[in-house]
Amino acid sequence: MAEETATTLAPIDDYLKVGLHIGTKFRTKAMSPFIFKIRPDGLSVLNVQKIDERIGLAAKFISHYTPEEILIICRRENGWKAAELFSKITGTKAYTKRYPPGILTNTKLEDFTEIKLILVTDPFPDKNIVEDAAKIGIPVIALCDTNNEIANLDLVVPCNNKGKKSLGLVFMILAREYLKARGIIQKDEDFTYKIEDFSPE
């Protein structure tokens, strides 16, 4: 187990337990490179190694930005708790539920926001901000399931972006890795949050 965690951001068992690798019956061409196999019931199974690699890439990408420069967007209810706790731990800003239109593009709005990086939990329900970001050249990292299109995305993190526990695990790892990269904590053991903190019951 120790060797396993040295090469992956979380034990493979944890990924499997929360169903991080279980996709949908729908598959887009863009997401096919991340699909490991199709189960007999038609559900796609994502490649766990590629999920882990992409979470690592996303964590590195995010760590180049200060908390004030990052915006988390999550319209999907299953991810609200995870996104909000990530925001609280890292000091980033998060919009759960509805994304206020124009906050990136209309300077006259009271809540106009200048940011440099966006993380969305699903580019389909969060498509309005993905489109706004593309207009003004802000990079977007997106958690993508097998049924997602990837237009206007700068970095795709393949995963089950619909399950509460899978979203909880992704946000937990990203929060821990962000704090480590920014020098706020030194090692994994300094991170005291558990996956249960990120996932609603």
| Banded model confidence at residue 201, pLDDT cuts 50, 70, 90 | low
Helix (H) or strand (E) holding 46: strand 44-46
pTM above 0.85, yes or no: yes
Q: Tell me how far apart the alpha carbons of residues 127 and 94 are, in angstroms, rounded to a whole number.
A: 16
Q: What percent of the chain has pLDDT over 70?
A: 97
Integer angstrom CA distances of residue 141 from 17, 23, 53, 60, 184: 24, 19, 14, 12, 22
* pLDDT tens per residue, range 144-158: 999 999 999 999 999
Higher pLDDT, 134 or 101: 134
| Banded model confidence at residue 167, pLDDT cuts 50, 70, 90 | very high
Per-residue pLDDT, 111: 82
What count of other Cβ atoms lies within 10 Å of the Cβ of residue 108?
A: 6
Query: How many residues are listed for the chain in this entry?
Result: 201
Domains detected in the chain? 2-198 (3.40.50.10490)
| Banded model confidence at residue 4, pLDDT cuts 50, 70, 90 | very low
Per-residue pLDDT, 67: 97
Integer angstrom CA distances of residue 60 from 7, 55, 75, 78, 151: 16, 9, 24, 25, 22
The rounded Cα 74 to chain-centroid distance in angstroms is 9
* pLDDT tens per residue, range 124-148: 999 999 999 999 999 999 999 999 9
* pLDDT tens per residue, range 20-77: 999 999 999 999 999 999 999 999 999 999 999 999 999 999 999 999 999 999 999 9
- Assess whether pLDDT exceeds 60 at residue 5: no
